[in-house]
Amino acid sequence: MEPNNGKGIVSDMSSSLESRAYQELRRRIISAEYLPGALLSENDLAEQLQMSRTPIRAAINLLMTEGFVESLRGRGVLVKDISFREYGEMLETFISLQIYALDTIGRRALPLDLEALGKYLVKSEEAMVTMDIPAYYDNSFSFGETIVGAIHNDHMMKVLSQIRGKYMFKMVSFRKMYPQYKPHKSQESNRLIYEALSRGDLATAKSAVLEIYTSSYEQMKLRGMM
């Protein structure tokens, strides 16, 4: 048996620190604690998270592959903005998957988790009252995700997992920078969707889902964002 020289333990500790750094920095970005355009310092981040720069650098590399940040030589790490065009494409994908899921639910007579939908609706309403912007968008996204999840398509769920972070970051950072714009319309639509699904009215639910995209697209056009 080879002697245990401690390399495995060191490797596990390093991996754990990288994971902790990645999860925490990603959380801060998505919740818009770091707004688009912010410059981050590896040294400052290492001090804040009480670890060396090595796991911080590894976490930043992962965030770069996801498109959240960009390394600027000699200046630091830039938190990137998500364009409204990219956001619009993510929203279109999200809406399309929900529409397809509702069609499939009707065609296959699949059950919906109305309890989960009701829970996310209530939580998003509470978050809107308390102005907890990250919680609002987290629960609102989970509401639509639950609809898609009803057809048990792992590939579709993976797509939603991939866009969730950037989708939330765009909207949370936008609401924080422009608090005069309130997400009332999407919440009203989710309430209509839930009420329609509770009575088995898939057609009305689909119309309400589509209205989220239509109203969002029109608002972005009206404000010159696209």
Say which CATH number the domain at 112 has: 1.20.120.530
What's the total number of domains in the chain? 2
Q: What is the 3-state secondary structure (H, E, C) of 180-220?
A: CCCCHHHHHHHHHHHHHHHCCCHHHHHHHHHHHHHHHHHHH
Q: What is the pLDDT of residue 7?
A: 40
Q: How many helices (H) and strands (E) does the chain have?
A: 9, 3
Q: Is residue 1 part of a domain?
A: no
Judgement on whether residues 137 and 56 belong to the same structural domain of the protein: no
Domain termination residue (choose one: 26, 49, 79)? 79
Averages of pLDDT over each 10 residues, the chain, 226 residues: 41 72 96 97 96 95 96 93 93 97 98 98 95 94 98 98 96 90 81 98 97 78 60
In this structure, what are the phi and psi dihedrals at residue 179, rounded to the nearest 5 degrees?
Answer: -65, -10
Q: What is the pLDDT of residue 185?
A: 76
Question: How many angstroms from the chain centroid is the CA of residue 74?
Answer: 30
Q: What is the pLDDT of residue 2?
A: 43
Judgement on whether residues 58 and 135 belong to the same structural domain of the protein: no
Q: What is the pLDDT of residue 226?
A: 56
Judgement on whether residues 65 and 95 belong to the same structural domain of the protein: no
Judgement on whether residues 57 and 154 belong to the same structural domain of the protein: no
Q: Is residue 70 part of a domain?
A: yes
| Domain of residue 43, residue span | 7-79
Judgement on whether residues 63 and 144 belong to the same structural domain of the protein: no
Judgement on whether residues 75 and 100 belong to the same structural domain of the protein: no
Q: What is the pLDDT of residue 225?
A: 64
Q: Is residue 46 part of a domain?
A: yes
The CA distance from 226 to 219, in Å, is 10
Judgement on whether residues 45 and 94 belong to the same structural domain of the protein: no
Judgement on whether residues 75 and 88 belong to the same structural domain of the protein: no
**166 neighbors 67 (Cβ within 8 angstroms):** yes
Judgement on whether residues 97 and 200 belong to the same structural domain of the protein: yes
Q: Is residue 106 part of a domain?
A: yes
Q: What is the pLDDT of residue 220?
A: 66
Q: What is the pLDDT of residue 214?
A: 84
